[in-house]
Amino acid sequence: MDLGILKQALAGKSGARLKLWMEICARCGLCAQGCHFFQSDPRPEHVPAYRLKPLAELIRKKGDVDEAFMQWLVDTAYGTCTMCQRCTMFCPHGISIAFLVRATRALAVSQGMTPQGLASGLANALEFGNNLGITEEEYIETVEWQLEELQAEMPDAVAPIDKKGAEVLVTFHPRDIKFYPQNLYCYLKLYNAAGLDFTLTSAKGWDSTNIGLFAGDDPAAAELAGRVVAAGENLGVRTILTAE
């Protein structure tokens, strides 16, 4: 552990919004009504407000913690929350616990404690442009395969790639390409039936899920988001249709 880096990361995350929400949380527990973790296993540690406890303790201790504390923080921030934000719908103060959990994850990232599954997916995203490590060739072949299947039903169907000046750039979740290509078939069918002026991209911006954001890695999140924006700007589209 590097406490200096941890304290620096904590200071960087301790803005007005974080301080306000940490201060006004009443620990009322109403957020539990919207949490699928709590609803499926109603334990106190599954109440969304509980997920703020490691962050609150870290702030109180001014970053002077040990590795065991950080492991508790990791287990809580990554292991009991998907950052779905349903809890915010039930919070009387409108606190975004997902925002605070993500800030907590960033502190774990500062110590190189991103869980292995997320870390490997993030490495794939940075190298290949998607978190499943799909190559450009595999991606293009899957699009062409599903378009050929669709054209048996809709002969005039298209799936343009890198079409300049299209209205919409369509992006995907990589699982739709690797594991559920029938979803791609359905997307293309809908876009063609609706007469949408769309394009796909062969650039690394076709995966807009941004696992860097989910992991709490700010530089990686910015890099991945920037690739999607760059793909849209290079093609001159007006709208980017994001995955999920």
User: What are the structure tokens assigned to 185, written together?
Assistant: 């078939």
pLDDT greater than 90 at residue 100: yes
User: Given pLDDT bands bounded at 50, 70 and 90, which one contains residue 171?
Assistant: very high
Residue 124, CB-side half-sphere exposure with 13 Å CA sphere = 18
User: Given pLDDT bands bounded at 50, 70 and 90, which one contains residue 159?
Assistant: very high
pLDDT tens-place string over residues 2-43: 999 999 999 999 999 999 999 999 999 999 999 999 999 999
Q: What is the mean pLDDT of residues 188-214?
A: 95
pLDDT greater than 80 at residue 243: no
Q: Where are the domains of the chain?
A: 3-113, 133-241
8 A C-beta contact, residue 131 and residue 209: yes
Q: What is the mean pLDDT of residues 89-108?
A: 96
pLDDT greater than 80 at residue 244: no
8 A C-beta contact, residue 81 and residue 98: yes
Q: 3-class secondary structure for the chain?
A: CCHHHHHHHHHHHCCHHHHHHHHHCCCCCHHHHHCHHHHHCCCHHHCHHHHHHHHHHHHHCCCCCCHHHHHHHHHHHHHCCCCCCHHHHHCCCCCCHHHHHHHHHHHHHHCCCCCHHHHHHHHHHHHHCCCCCCCHHHHHHHHHHHHHHHHCCCCCCCCCECCCCCCEEECECHHHHHCCHHHHHHHHHHHHHCCCCEEECCCCCCECCCHHHHHCCHHHHHHHHHHHHHHHHHHCCCEEECCC
User: Given pLDDT bands bounded at 50, 70 and 90, which one contains residue 59?
Assistant: very high
pLDDT greater than 80 at residue 223: yes
Instruction: Name the nearest CA neighbour of 52 among 33, 26, 16.
Output: 26
DSSP bridge partners of 239: 168
Say whether pTM exceeds 0.75: yes
Percent of the chain scoring above 70 in pLDDT: 100
Percent of the chain scoring above 90 in pLDDT: 98
pLDDT tens-place string over residues 120-145: 999 999 999 999 999 999 999 999 99
8 A C-beta contact, residue 175 and residue 132: yes
